[in-house]
Structure 1
């Protein structure tokens, strides 16, 4: 059933112009044609939002799935379970999408599966090659068994993984996307600027963890995501505990927040009192490594080349042969997006790609320090998006 517009006085507004969403779908369509794919079947919030602008609280519900089908011609159809969800889709999309309701009770995904099967059949795709979010870094609403149900209902359908295509389509950000990322970074910078005023008086890591989240919301974030507040003597990314924040301790804070769905993710390190000379030295070496990695970012460079710069800098500044995992990652509508900055990745950097530069370094006594800044690849090199961390460990 095709859904028609309704008269709502205070409608939500799309985050980008209709032409930008059309260009995104055309970019995906070109990739489909090059890979022999007839359509995309999408069932995740980020991809739906990226290609149509559709936002909804229904993504939290596993029994009221939302689907987006994009054909190799660039035509888009949103499938919703209820009329109210279709109304939301009308308000948040910028046009160019057909919106249909498949119905259902809200406690069973079977109507949604039937809706997808019927729409694929109506589009002549029941014998086609359709790519879905089946691979790396994708977590659709549907379970693996639900996708098997689609295969069983359409035995001639070739349902393949579309992860590589989707990440290629989303890798380079538009000016508007980067502006939202800049805004999220500005919110996070404001939060970090306030930390020296209260961290020394915080009762515990838990209290600091809560304050970080409240501050980014107060300063204008749409949402907060991953956060970590912990003493650097503890495992990195441990989140928080009820440990008191002790005098002369060094505290690592990693915070994320989003604006219009686009994320900022960077970390800062604070000394509450006087840190050891060992930690001060480790921090300065890490600051230098971070700078060298940032300066390696340029269009035409490969991910492996950027990684290798960070590795060589670590070897030279520490006199050791480090064991490095990734030293950063891409970011956008999701906090961690491919490609990761790692040794095996050969992806070529292009203008508009946004990265979190994230090397780490262990002190001689075993404390782990992690630096993180954000950059965008430009036509001539890079632009540092974050306000660079202080060169020396900040004492408060």
Structure 2
């Protein structure tokens, strides 16, 4: 067992905890191994996190018993040994110059190791056919070659047990999420203070990202996303990159996204007005806030995810008569009212009417309840979003340090 590595992505005890948890779930569900290619799954289960993106095949085999195997391009071999608690002999490189005497392509390495582990007839869980945001980072031909190399093995969807582990955050993950939430809140607060009529959207983004970096949220590659949206006069509901367009009086913005730290992401939203709100905007603002509070009241361990959605819909399902008279036909544009967070912005479970999974302590998700001016988009409306941790007694709001009251820049 490794006792020390130069720059571990996760603590040794965290690695052991995750491995023990997933292997117990594999025993319960009849999986002999998991075959993983998604970079977030590699990070979660092995501690290997790419320092830059390139399309060469990386993957891992998590057996039901014993040590994981990590398979990486030769250029990442030493990096993987210095970054992950996977035993060095189980980190298998491929490719590189001839003098390395390594297999020239990766699929044979996977096939040979799966056979060596006695999995010729095993049940092997994969990332195919699962919920959004587990994308196998293997080409179709590479995956097919691996399956053809083990014709008697059963390859089947393993994303349910993957997410059963990843959806309940560990104490270490919760600590990271609190930290990145604080960085995001501070960044938005500092950026709004610096908003001036005439500055560009890119200058706004620069100020925000500089704040993130100054607080320690920088990495290779850089992560974290932030979008600015604003009303039909500018972008309707599109989410283009911040441009060199100058901010004008009467503009409405909303900040959407957050910083990233150690690979973990936060996603929150706050509204900013460059000038006073219109009466329609004030009305929409109040409705969204009422819906957000109704959804918050439904967060409790033992409740269903769909209960949160139902609580919000009691507020925003029907358009009030005064708004109908002004041409507002609908208040919401999406079927989901939030999503989980972690190594990706949008992780399952999503806050929908059809997801009846039970809330458990350790889940972290957003709630985002809109009140929009559909279909005219004369005003952008209101779309608050906060990040919530389910606890044994209820919930904690990781981003509550920043008010949801109207932010008006004059």
Q: TM-score, normalised by structure 1?
A: 0.89
- 1:121-132 aligned at under 5 Å gives the runs 121-132=115-126
Q: SS of the counterpart of 1:13?
A: coil
Q: Give 2:324's aligned residue.
A: none
Give yes or no for contact 2:191–2:207 (8 Å, CA) kept in 1.
no
Confirm or deny that 1:214 pairs with 2:213: no
Q: Give 2:84's aligned residue.
A: 93
Confirm or deny that 1:340 pairs with 2:350: yes
Confirm or deny that 1:104 pairs with 2:100: no
Give the deviation of 1:226 after TM superposition.
2.7
Give yes or no for contact 1:5–1:87 (8 Å, CA) kept in 2.
no
Structure 1 gaps of 5+ residues are none
Q: Give 1:390's aligned residue.
A: 403
Q: Give 2:325's aligned residue.
A: none
Q: Give 1:370's aligned residue.
A: 383
Give yes or no for contact 1:228–1:237 (8 Å, CA) kept in 2.
no
2: CA distance, partners of 1:291 / 1:280 = 17
Q: Give 2:370's aligned residue.
A: 360
Q: Give 1:287's aligned residue.
A: 289
Structure 2 gaps of 5+ residues are 322-328
2: CA distance, partners of 1:341 / 1:100 = 38
1: CA distance, partners of 2:339 / 2:3 = 42
Give yes or no for contact 2:69–2:92 (8 Å, CA) kept in 1.
no
- 1:295-334 aligned at under 5 Å gives the runs 295-315=297-317, 318=320, 324-334=334-344
RMSD: 2.7
Confirm or deny that 1:62 pairs with 2:58: no
- 1:134-213 aligned at under 5 Å gives the runs 134-135=128-129, 136=131, 137-201=133-197, 203-213=199-209
Q: SS of the counterpart of 2:224?
A: strand
Confirm or deny that 1:349 pairs with 2:359: yes
Give yes or no for contact 2:340–2:348 (8 Å, CA) kept in 1.
yes
2: CA distance, partners of 1:326 / 1:185 = 22
Q: Deviations over 1:286-329 (max 9, x none)?
A: 12211221221111111111100010122478468765510000
Report the CA distance shift for 1:388/1:316 in structure 2 as closer, same or farther (over 3 A): farther
1: CA distance, partners of 2:302 / 2:319 = 27
Q: SS of the counterpart of 2:405?
A: coil
1: CA distance, partners of 2:201 / 2:4 = 49
Report the CA distance shift for 1:220/1:318 in structure 2 as closer, same or farther (over 3 A): farther
Report the CA distance shift for 1:318/1:32 in structure 2 as closer, same or farther (over 3 A): farther
The equivalent position to 2:7 in structure 1, one of 6, 12, 15, is: 12
Give the deviation of 1:98 after TM superposition.
4.7
2: CA distance, partners of 1:391 / 1:44 = 35
Give the deviation of 1:382 after TM superposition.
0.5
Structure 1 stretch 92-101 or stretch 144-153: which is displaced more?
92-101
1: CA distance, partners of 2:153 / 2:179 = 43
Give the deviation of 1:361 after TM superposition.
1.4
Give yes or no for contact 1:256–1:335 (8 Å, CA) kept in 2.
no
1: CA distance, partners of 2:4 / 2:301 = 47
Q: SS of the counterpart of 1:327?
A: coil
Give the deviation of 1:224 after TM superposition.
3.2
Q: SS of the counterpart of 2:393?
A: coil
Q: Deviations over 1:168-194 (max 9, x none)?
A: 111111111011111111111111111
The equivalent position to 2:127 in structure 1, one of 112, 133, 139, is: 133
1: CA distance, partners of 2:402 / 2:318 = 22
Give yes or no for contact 1:130–1:159 (8 Å, CA) kept in 2.
yes
Q: Deviations over 1:32-55 (max 9, x none)?
A: 222221100111221111112222
Q: Deviations over 1:308-364 (max 9, x none)?
A: 001012247846876551000000111110000011111111000001111111137
Q: Deviations over 1:223-253 (max 9, x none)?
A: 4333211213333352234432111221111
Give yes or no for contact 2:229–2:239 (8 Å, CA) kept in 1.
yes
